[in-house]
Amino acid sequence: MTSEKKRGYNKKRMKQIRRQRRLKRRLLGAGILILSGVCIFLLGKSVGRQEEMQILTKEEKVKNYTYNQGGQEEEYDLDGILTVREILLVNKDNPLPEDYEVTLLTLPDGVNRAAEEAYEPLCDMLKAGQKEGLSFEICSSYRSVERQQELLDEDINTLMRQGYSYKEAYEEVTKETMPPGYSEHSTGLAFDIVSLGYQILDAGQEKTKENIWLQSHCAEYGFILRYPKGKEDITAINYESWHFRYVGKEAAAYIMENGITLEEYLEL
Ligand SMILES: [Zn+2]
């Protein structure tokens, strides 16, 4: 090999080596680029997941939110949006809307539950009565549609055991117990309140000093006597001196002052 040829060969070889090196660098560059891409993608995903987890945790917190009233921890029983309307009419002709949602709060007795907006007015009313030396017992409050069905079935079965036909028993029972979906108790706004010393739901209840006080003061707290005496043809429910319904102060004042029913008020 002549020196010139050798130089030519060397040049060629050098070119080849340089080309190979360039290729290697490019491949390495591309590799690094792809790797960083994957890393960024994975990092992003994990951050996203973390954010998602944080949102879920917040939702859980809202769900498990505890209501603090007078140092006592109360549970927020149901999740869901509050859509309670204070003057919602629920009677034999007007069932509870299918999409009705209510936020319920457990009352200080630890048993009964009330719709969020009725909670404080109810507590205030009972406390005011207690200051006058009265003792109340809430014997019925929020009732789910399922529970209403159970109560109705129990009452119908009792009458059927006494010889009533199903139809007769149903008609008799629904004079006082509403069919499921038609009870005001499923709104969370209705409460049966009796005297602690007389817990019977009969004509004697209105003679107790607790009931006399409730009937004359309930409107101050936004409550009405829902099934008054002499209005049975309008309410389609026998007189119930113990059943109080939250409608808000404005409606309550008008209804109680004028001795009318919620049905009549809504027709005005
Ligand atoms: Zn009732």
Do 18 and 136 lie in a common domain? no
In tens, the pLDDT along 218-256 reads: 999 999 999 999 999 999 999 999 999 999 999 999 999
- Give the pLDDT score at 56: 31
Dist. CA 13 → ligand 1 center (Å): 102
- pTM (2 decimals)? 0.67
In this structure, is residue 158 part of a structural domain?
no
Helices 166-173 + 145-161 axis angle, to 10:
120
Dist. CA 243 → ligand 1 center (Å): 5
Number of domains forming the structure of the chain: 2
More confident site: 153 or 66: 153
Dist. CA 176 → ligand 1 center (Å): 9
Residue 60 buriedness (CB in 10 A; 0-12 / 13-18 / 19+): exposed
- Give the pLDDT score at 176: 79
Dist. CA 140 → ligand 1 center (Å): 6
Q: Using 50, 70 and 90 to split pLDDT, how confident is the model at 73?
A: very low
The last residue of one of the domains, among 64, 85, 112, is 64
Nearest Cα neighbor of 137 from 116, 107, 115, 117 is: 107
Collapsing DSSP to helix, strand or coil, 164 comes out as: coil
- pLDDT at residue 50 greater than cutoff 50: no
Q: 86: domain CATH number?
A: 3.30.1380.10
**Residues 180, 152: contact at Cβ < 8 Å?**
yes
Dist. CA 68 → ligand 1 center (Å): 27
Dist. CA 98 → ligand 1 center (Å): 21
Dist. CA 165 → ligand 1 center (Å): 25
Dist. CA 210 → ligand 1 center (Å): 16
In this structure, is residue 175 part of a structural domain?
no
Dist. CA 154 → ligand 1 center (Å): 16
- pLDDT at residue 134 greater than cutoff 60: yes
Q: If residue 151 lies in a helix (H) or strand (E), which one and from where to where?
A: helix 145-161
In tens, the pLDDT along 148-177 reads: 999 999 999 999 999 999 999 999 998 878
Dist. CA 69 → ligand 1 center (Å): 25
- Residues near ion ligand 1 (Cβ under 5 Å): 192, 243
In this structure, is residue 164 part of a structural domain?
no
Residue 32 buriedness (CB in 10 A; 0-12 / 13-18 / 19+): exposed
Do 106 and 210 lie in a common domain? yes
Beta bridge partners of 225: 244
Nearest 5°: the CA angle 231, 248, 240 is: 30
**Residues 192, 243: contact at Cβ < 8 Å?**
yes
- Give the pLDDT score at 143: 93
Lowest mean per-residue pLDDT among 5-19, 48-62, 149-163, 181-195: 48-62
- Give the pLDDT score at 76: 37
Q: Using 50, 70 and 90 to split pLDDT, how confident is the model at 268?
A: confident
Dist. CA 242 → ligand 1 center (Å): 7
In this structure, is residue 256 part of a structural domain?
yes
Dist. CA 197 → ligand 1 center (Å): 19
In this structure, is residue 178 part of a structural domain?
no
Q: Using 50, 70 and 90 to split pLDDT, how confident is the model at 267?
A: confident
In this structure, is residue 116 part of a structural domain?
yes
Q: Using 50, 70 and 90 to split pLDDT, how confident is the model at 31?
A: low
Dist. CA 64 → ligand 1 center (Å): 29
Question: The domain containing residue 59 runs over which residues?
Answer: 1-64
Lowest mean per-residue pLDDT among 37-46, 70-79, 95-104, 141-150: 70-79
- At residue 246, φ and ψ (nearest 5 deg) are -80, 125
**Whole-number percent of the chain with pLDDT over 70:** 69
* DSSP state string for 50-115: HHHHHHHHHHHHHHT-EEEETTEEEEB---S-----TT---BTTBPPPTT----EEE-TTSS-EEE
Do 33 and 91 lie in a common domain? no
